[in-house]
Amino acid sequence: MDQIESIKCLRLAEQIAGIINISKSVFDAIASTPRSAFVPSIKDAFSLDPQSIGGAQWISSPLTVAKMTEALRAQGCDNVLEIGCGSGYQAAVLSKIAHRVFSIERIESLASSAKTRLKQLGFNNVFVRFDDGSIGWKSSAPFDRIILSCATASVPQALFDQLKEDGVLVAPVANGGAQQITRYIKTAAGIESQVLDSCDFVPLLNGRA
């Protein structure tokens, strides 16, 4: 990043930290990820509002990205699976915290542009795949952590099957007209869940587009 971008990313992290409690690892990840490279409008790059990226998809507010990343507890994890790559910003942030990030995008144009963008920016530990996110990434499973960047009424069983025991899955879960960030922990006895916060995401859809 150039100096101006670096200062703006640091201020963004500071703004987020002034609203919610975040760990040093999440703060540093936000502060060192070039936000403007992932949004369509550089003018609005550091806004806390979500932004349209085409294909009826949106890049989440950086505040929401911070909340989701914090909920995932991915510091030092070997591998993380993301469902819904979008522009690649959430994957880029996670790549600063976990060793490897596998990200699935069902819209081919978004998957292609995200893959190119992440490679050009030097995020060599992020792997992007054009596929149906609801079926996961079986060949690279099991995963320490799984994050859904899209809302679902219920988490597909295939994703729980690809989560390691004691692993964490974070998803926006739609309940009636509301969505809630929900953290799941896979234990030997089953799946435990905890509702953390409200949110607003595009829906998880099956198939490719």
Question: Could you give the dihedral angle defined by the CA atoms of residues 161, 165, 168 and 174, in that order, rounded to the nearest 10 degrees?
Answer: 40
Catalytic residue among 23, 32, 36, 60: 60
DSSP label at 140?
A: G
Q: 198 to each of 74, 90, 106, 134, 154, how far by Cα in Å?
A: 21, 18, 25, 22, 16
Q: Is 149 an annotated catalytic residue?
A: no
Write down the residue that tokens 């899955």 correspond to. Answer: 169
Structure tokens at 196: 């953390």
Sign of CA dihedral 48, 4, 123, 207: positive
Around Cβ 196, how many Cβ atoms within 10 Å?
Answer: 14
What distance in Å separates the CA atoms of residue 198 and residue 189, rounded to the nearest whole number?
A: 27
Helix and strand counts by DSSP (H, E) for the chain: 6, 9
The set of long-range contacts for 119-125, using a CB threshold of 8 Å and a minimum separation of 24, is: 121/34, 121/37, 121/92, 123/88, 123/91, 123/92, 123/95, 125/95, 125/99, 125/100, 125/101
The catalytic residues are: 60
